[in-house]
Amino acid sequence: MVKKNQTLGEFIIENQEAFKYSSGELSRLINSIRLAAKVVNHEVNKAGLVDITGAVGETNVQGEEQQKLDVYANEKFIQTLTNREIVCGIASEEEDDFITICGQKENHQNKYVVLIDPLDGSSNIDVNVSVGTIFSVYRRKTKIGTPVTLEDFLQPGNAQVAAGYIVYGTSTMLVYTTGHGVNGFTLNPAIGTYYLSHPNMKFPEKGNIYSINEGNYLQFPQGVKDYLKYCQAEEGDRPYTSRYIGSLVSDIHRNILKGGIYIYPSTSKNPKGKLRLLYECNPMAYLVEQAGGKASDGYQRIMDIKPSSLHERVPFFAGTTSMVEDAEKFMEKYK
């Protein structure tokens, strides 16, 4: 049952039984993400005051420049999940390889692995624009009590048991699903508690926002170019309006609440798109579907893709079901 103004802590306890493998472990996991998110939030809020904006001077495994807050958020999430001995393995966008946790101590019984984009939209930090964190949880495939292997992380999105994001925006929200709809909790910074502010989040039936980095227009596949012209045409409920923050979390969050489509397609420069299947697309696809929307790579369901490597990328179309279906029709023409 959804009660407004419940705290996240109360909500987790109350809904624990609805989760089919419930043993309290997943609840403890969400709890530690909630804690790490508070710590990161505190730091993000100080950006501009202390020396935490800007680049570290290093690039991550994907050749992208790491921001100081990328590194900080990565450390905090990994530390919290490791210290509390809740998961058996972690994979992060900021780490070359996955991290094995079980095997170090007598905590071999942990069943879950977490995949995380610790700071999403990091190029927006320096200019005081919303950033986020994205997480995805799976049950391990290999035997409990043994060290995790790559197989535990390379599972299709449809095997996720939980996923969520934190948006560090004008207010901080934690939004997550365990497969029973999507619920959003807003942090009251004065007392450090998250309250259920957005119970059972659903896309409105229709949307009129399209979100894409149109600066790459000339590099888009013809299907995307044609769909954009369709969005801009003066016909029926169109033209749609264009909104693009450049933080996936914030763009998707807005589109769930208002109705819209987010597209990061393949481009001639990046034939597989930019977004990462395991850390960004799968968790967002799970949330989008649980909110009544649709997520695909333009042709097939994101969550049915079998991953082949930790950092693989995929084109991403996600949002209001009818809008994603329209975009897919344009893609289909040039298949």
Q: Does 71 bind ligand AHG (CB under 6 A)?
A: no
Q: Which run of H or E residues covers position 43?
A: helix 25-44
**Smallest gap from residue 124 Cβ to ligand AHG (A):** 8
- Count Cβ atoms below 10 Å from residue 104 Cβ, excluding itself: 11
Tokens matching residue 116? 């995380």
Q: Which run of H or E residues covers position 160?
A: strand 160-168
Q: Does 94 bind ligand AHG (CB under 6 A)?
A: no
Tokens matching residue 161? 């048991």
Report the residue number, 67 or 183, with the smaller CB distance to ligand AHG. Answer: 67
Residue pair 289/264 in contact (Cβ under 8 Å)? The answer is: no
Stretch that binds ligand AHG, among 26-34, 150-158, 191-199, 245-253 (CB under 6 A): 245-253
Query: Could you give the C-alpha distances from 264 to 185, 256, 276, 327, in angstroms and in order?
Result: 27, 17, 11, 12
Q: Does 251 bind Mn ion (CB under 5 A)?
A: no
Report the residue number, 70 or 152, with the smaller CB distance to Mn ion. Answer: 70
* Binding residues for ligand AHG restricted to 113-132, rule: CB under 6 A: 117, 120-122
Among 117, 251, 289, 328, which residue sits at the site for Mn ion (rule: CB under 5 A)?
117
Q: Does 136 bind ligand AHG (CB under 6 A)?
A: no
The β-bridge partners of 160 are 138
Q: Does 152 bind Mn ion (CB under 5 A)?
A: no
Residue nearest to Mn ion (CB): 120
Count residues contacting Mn ion (CB under 5 A)? 4
**Smallest gap from residue 127 Cβ to Mn ion (A):** 16
Torsion over CA: 28, 8, 134, 72 (sign): negative
In the list ligand AHG, Mn ion, none, the entry touching 328 (Cβ below 5 to 8 angstroms by class) is none
**Smallest gap from residue 243 Cβ to ligand AHG (A):** 12
In the list ligand AHG, Mn ion, none, the entry touching 213 (Cβ below 5 to 8 angstroms by class) is ligand AHG
Count residues contacting ligand AHG (CB under 6 A)? 12
> How far apart are alpha carbons 95 and 75 in whole angstroms?
10
Residue pair 228/210 in contact (Cβ under 8 Å)? The answer is: yes
Among 32, 77, 88, 120, which residue sits at the site for Mn ion (rule: CB under 5 A)?
120
Report the residue number, 111 or 254, with the smaller CB distance to Mn ion. Answer: 254
Tokens matching residue 26? 């997943």
Q: Does 274 bind ligand AHG (CB under 6 A)?
A: yes
Q: Does 246 bind ligand AHG (CB under 6 A)?
A: yes
* Binding residues for Mn ion restricted to 69-98, rule: CB under 5 A: 93
* Residues ≥6 apart with Cβ < 8 Å to 50: none
Query: Could you give the C-alpha distances from 220 to 38, 92, 250, 273, in angstroms and in order?
Result: 38, 28, 23, 10
* R_g (Cα) of the chain, nearest Å: 19
**Site residues, Mn ion (CB under 5 A):** 93, 117, 119-120
**Site residues, ligand AHG (CB under 6 A):** 64, 93, 117, 120-122, 213, 246-248, 251, 274
